[in-house]
């Protein structure tokens, strides 16, 4: 009887704790724009802009969400998530977010930085032995690097790595090694990448690269957990990001959007929802571009960042850690940052986020100083302005990557802030 009594008491405690964990997550509150200091009338411009882009076949459909002071003031869907199947865009549509994965991966690594399991200035070789004795490619061949890449370098794209899209020797070796292969796990990826010569001396310039994928492997080594499991336990479950992961489970496939290629002739299917590789769990958990998510889930992550690491009364990151993410960490000589053939003027980079450091009409003219954000290959975008306490997520699935939707609605959204 005593044993039975103790068991029932234990069961009651466990059940109570489970209930507390289940009930602590609450949806972001929804208020009228006026209740959060914005204008409903001015936000109607967003409806017209998105409708016009759909009418012109610049995109098949979209989802736009705006939060101010941590409260949702606008959340609308437009057009189709799958034209061929006749499916309208939904609030819970699942999107390929590609490089919007990067800030999530960076946040995950920073959880371990706060716990002392990772140091920002630790050499990557501490976690991935193949990065020992790194070489740098020069016109005359390779030479020993002055120093190896660090964890901080991985987070801010100053590690000397590439994405393999250029014509240099490091690019060629990157492509030949098939570094970003969904069938290759992160341990194997790191082992193959380490011996490839670096494209430049670490810390001396900014070059968009696979560095955040490498960061995912660092998280695995430091935590002793597979990267997907770590994200689920330490970020997705606490933030109630219930539809975010590295693939779309069968029971959610009906909510998965199709990706379209757009050109002068209109929209053509690029990656059909019904046959996409994202329907299968990959071996490589790409922290740089492998996640799928919803507008609602990603908004929760961003509101946590905007709140200095806090959501639903639960602290995930310290305010000082979030400050590192959302403030420029690049030296002046690394700017403007070059994204392919484009240069982003007045822009720096924090730990995981693009950061506006100066106003400049040559690049994203509506973006205010202090704004941070990024996007994904299928033209998904997000940005946040601490000055306005404003967070915006725009989702679509359109190739090639385009700023059309972000830049079209950004000015009107800021203009809708009245007090």
Q: What is the pLDDT of residues 27-60, one digit of tens each?
A: 999 999 999 999 999 999 999 999 999 999 999 9
Whether 301 has a pLDDT exceeding 90, the answer reads yes
Averaged over 250-256, what is the pLDDT? 98
Residue 136 lies in domain = 111-223
For residues 140 and 303, the model is more confident at: 303
Q: Do 254 and 399 belong to one domain?
A: yes
Q: Are residues 260 and 384 in the same domain?
A: yes
- Specify whether 349 is located in the same domain as 407: yes
pLDDT of residue 23: 41
Q: Given this model, what pLDDT does residue 262 score? A: 96
Question: pLDDT of 326-384, one tens digit each?
Answer: 999 998 888 878 777 678 889 999 999 999 999 888 889 999 999 999 999 999 999 99
Of 3 and 407, the one with more pLDDT:
407
CB of 385 closer than 8 Å to CB of 370? yes
Q: Does residue 196 share a domain with residue 147? A: yes
Based on the residue annotation, tell me whether 293 is a catalytic residue of this protein: no
pTM confidence score? 0.93
Q: Are residues 42 and 141 in the same domain?
A: no
- Looking at the fold, whether 273 and 219 belong to one and the same domain comes out as no
pLDDT at 24 over 80: no
Check pLDDT > 70 for residue 2. Answer: no
**Residue 124: inside a domain:** yes
Q: What is the mean pLDDT of residues 166-192?
A: 97
Same domain, 262 and 302: yes
Stretch 264-289: mean pLDDT: 97
Query: Does 14 reside within a domain?
Result: no
Residue 373 domain-assigned?
yes
Q: Is residue 115 part of a domain?
A: yes
Instruction: Give domain status of residue 241, yes or no.
Output: no
* 28 is a domain residue: no
Question: Are 204 and 257 members of one domain?
Answer: no
CATH number of residue 301's parent domain: 3.40.710.10
Q: Of 58, 63, 99, 385, which is the active-site residue?
A: 99
Asked if the model's pLDDT at residue 304 lies above 60, the reply is yes
User: Which residue in this structure is represented by tokens 């995950």?
Assistant: 108
Give the distance, in angstroms, between the CA of residue 295 and the centroid of all CA atoms in the same chain. 12
Residues 221-238 have pLDDT tens digits of 999 999 999 999 999 999
Question: Looking at the domain assignment, is residue 275 inside a domain?
Answer: yes
pLDDT bucket at 19, cuts 50 / 70 / 90: very low
Q: Which residue in this structure is represented by tokens 């009594």?
A: 5
CA distance 99 to 92: 20
pLDDT at 1: 40
Q: What CATH number did the domain enclosing 120 receive?
A: 1.20.58
Question: What pLDDT is stored for residue 241 in this prediction?
Answer: 98
* pLDDT(127) > 70: yes
The pLDDT-based confidence of 413 (bands split at 50, 70, 90) is very high
Residue 136 has pLDDT above 50, yes or no: yes
Percent of the chain with pLDDT over 90: 88
The gap between the terminal CA atoms of the chain, to the nearest Å, is 65
> What average pLDDT is seen over the chain?
93
Would you state the torsion angle of the CA atoms of residues 218, 219, 223, 227, taken in this order, to the nearest 10 degrees? -120
Domain assignment present for residue 105? The answer is no
* 3-state SS, one letter per residue, for 379-419: CCEEEEECCCCEEEEEECCEECCCCHHHHHHHHHHHHCECC
**Taking a C-beta distance cutoff of 8 angstroms, is the pair 62, 49 a contact?**
no
Question: Does residue 165 sit in the same domain as residue 260?
Answer: no
The predicted pLDDT at position 340 comes to 72
If asked whether residues 66 and 181 sit together in one domain, one would say: no
State how many domains the chain has: 2
**What is the Cα–Cα distance from 288 to 196, expressed in whole angstroms?**
19
pLDDT at 345: 86
320 & 204 share domain: no
Residues 141 and 204 in one domain: yes
């Amino acid at each position: 009887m005593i044993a039975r009594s103790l068991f029932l008491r234990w069961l009651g405690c466990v059940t109570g704790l489970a209930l507390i964990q289940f009930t602590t997550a609450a949806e972001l509150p929804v208020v009228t724009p006026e209740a959060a200091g914005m204008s409903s009338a001015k936000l109607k411009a967003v409806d017209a802009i998105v409708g016009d882009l759909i009418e012109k076949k610049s995109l098949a459909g979209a989802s736009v969400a705006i939060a101010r002071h941590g409260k949702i003031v606008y959340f609308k869907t437009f057009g189709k998530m799958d034209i061929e199947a006749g499916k309208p865009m939904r609030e819970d549509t699942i999107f390929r977010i590609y490089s919007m994965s990067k800030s999530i991966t960076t946040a995950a690594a920073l959880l371990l930085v706060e716990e002392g399991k990772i140091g920002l200035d630790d050499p990557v070789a501490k976690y991935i032995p193949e990065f020992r004795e790194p070489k740098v490619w020069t016109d005359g061949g390779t030479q020993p690097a002055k120093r190896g890449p660090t964890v901080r370098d991985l987070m801010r794209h100053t590690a000397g790595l590439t994405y393999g899209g250029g014509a240099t020797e490091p690019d060629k070796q990157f492509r030949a090694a098939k570094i970003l292969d969904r069938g290759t796990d992160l341990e194997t990826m790191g082992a193959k990448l380490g011996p490839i010569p670096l494209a430049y001396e670490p810390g001396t310039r900014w070059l968009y690269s696979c560095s955040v994928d490498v960061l995912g492997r660092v998280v695995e080594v430091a935590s002793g957990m597979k990267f997907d499991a770590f994200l689920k336990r330490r970020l997705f479950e606490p933030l109630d990001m219930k539809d975010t992961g590295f693939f779309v489970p069968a029971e959610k496939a009906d909510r998965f959007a199709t990706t379209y290629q757009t050109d002068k002739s209109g929209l053509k299917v690029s990656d059909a929802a019904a046959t996409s590789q994202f329907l299968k769990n990959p071996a490589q958990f790409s922290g740089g571009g492998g996640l799928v998510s919803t507008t609602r889930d990603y908004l929760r992550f961003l509101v946590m960042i905007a709140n200095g690491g806090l959501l639903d009364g639960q602290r995930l990151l310290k305010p000082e850690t979030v400050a590192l993410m959302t403030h420029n960490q690049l030296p002046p000589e690394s700017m403007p940052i070059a994204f392919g053939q484009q240069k982003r003027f007045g822009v720096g980079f924090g730990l995981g986020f693009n950061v506006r450091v100066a106003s400049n009409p040559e690049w994203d003219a509506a973006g205010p100083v202090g704004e941070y954000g990024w996007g994904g290959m299928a033209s998904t975008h997000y940005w946040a302005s601490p000055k306005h306490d404003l967070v915006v997520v725009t989702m679509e699935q359109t190739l090639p990557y385009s700023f059309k939707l972000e830049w079209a609605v950004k000015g009107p959204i800021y203009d809708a802030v009245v007090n």
